[in-house]
Amino acid sequence: MQKYSQSMKLMGNNFTITVVADNEATGSRNIDLAVAEIKRIESLFTTYKNDSQTNLINDNAGIAPIKVDTEVYDLIERSIAISKITQGAFDISYGSIDKRLWNFDKSMKALPDAEKALKMVYLIDYRNILLDAQRQTVFLKEKGMRIGFGGIGKGYAAEMAKHILKNNNVKSGIINASGDLTAWGNQPNGKQWTIGIADPDNPNALFSYMEISEKAVATSGNYEKYVVIGGKKYSHTIDPKTGLPITGIKSVTIISDNAEFADAMATPIAIMGINAGLFLINQIPELYCIIIDDNNKIYTSNNINLR
């Protein structure tokens, strides 16, 4: 048995799919299955395709409910459930927040006006995503509201690709969506898959590693996209309640049994802050978390073993 990997751009992210197989032909065939599934999900949830179900919902905001596929309805329903447990720190409804308010390139010299930021976030409110289970429709109550799956889509795609592979008798592999990943089975040498946790000040260096077979891991960090204004580092993560970026946390890593849930929880924990975030994580079975603050202090949830 050997491992075979392929990397490509899917859903606007770099995906690396690794499978363990007897030979290259089988490995390749299995990787193709995973890619086809991720592309299928992308076409369903993308906002870059005019006729996608997501865009139909957005185009009819404040106008009419839209009937959607069960899969789309269910993901929106699960997203709203995560909004509830994170008190709105996770929210798939992004209103008019766009590049005019935040463009995280180095040319940004000042924070936007707090009042202007608040005006732009008034449309962000998961409670205005109205679902009708019988008709299987989604209605955005306010004109100008939009939904997007940037905070949960990669994890969902990784989870679905894993299911397809397991159903096709792939005993072991990893789906890695730009650092949000899910792993199952063992490496060809019989050992568990392991992951390195990056040092936020030096993303190419690792400060720890952990075994991740049968687990999913997602990281939200400010070390890739941020601006420094007045000597203070602002993350590209925006608090949906204020429209302003968060400070104080360099990275949040979530470990879960499910890639979709891990992906969805990483950003809201950063928004909630260290104490509230860890408190929430410790309430949820089989969910673990590592937080690194701006001073490189490491905080972990209960029952986590770093090496």
Q: What is the pLDDT along the chain (307 residues), one digit of tens a residue?
A: 999 999 999 999 999 999 999 999 999 999 999 999 999 999 999 988 888 999 999 999 999 999 999 999 999 999 999 999 999 999 999 766 655 555 555 567 777 778 877 877 888 999 999 999 999 999 999 998 999 999 999 999 999 999 999 999 999 999 999 889 999 999 999 999 998 776 767 767 776 778 899 999 999 887 666 778 888 777 778 888 888 888 889 899 999 999 999 999 999 999 999 999 999 999 999 999 999 998 889 999 998 866 6
Going from the C-alpha of 1 to that of each of 17, 35, 48, 190, 272, the distances in angstroms are 16, 21, 39, 10, 44
Q: Which residues contact 31 (CB under 8 A, 6 or more apart)?
A: 4, 5, 6, 17, 19
pLDDT for residue 100: 56
What angle do helix axes 274-283 and 259-272 make, rounded to 10 degrees? 150
Compute the distance between CA of residue 40 and CA of residue 44 in angstroms, rounded to an integer: 7
Torsion angle of C-alpha atoms 94, 97, 98, 102, degrees rounded to 10: -130
pLDDT for residue 230: 81
User: In terms of Cα–Cα distance, which of 7, 21, 10, 74 is closest to 185?
Assistant: 21
Q: Is 231 left (phi over 0), alpha (psi -120 to 50) or beta?
A: left
3-state secondary structure at position 225? coil
pLDDT for residue 209: 78
CA-CA-CA-CA torsion sign (141, 48, 235, 110) = negative
Q: How many CB atoms lie within 10 A of CB 226?
A: 18
Residues facing 66 on adjacent strands? 138
In one-letter notation, the amino acid at residue 268 is P
Whether the CB-CB separation of 1 and 186 falls below 8 Å is answered with no
Whether the CB-CB separation of 117 and 243 falls below 8 Å is answered with yes
Whether the CB-CB separation of 183 and 193 falls below 8 Å is answered with yes
Whether the CB-CB separation of 234 and 103 falls below 8 Å is answered with no
User: In terms of Cα–Cα distance, which of 251, 153, 255 is closest to 194?
Assistant: 255
Residues facing 181 on adjacent strands? 176, 217
Compute the distance between CA of residue 254 and CA of residue 286 in angstroms, rounded to an integer: 11
CA-CA-CA-CA torsion sign (68, 74, 75, 76) = positive
pLDDT for residue 121: 86
- Angle 93-97-102 (CA atoms, 0-180°, nearest 5)? 140
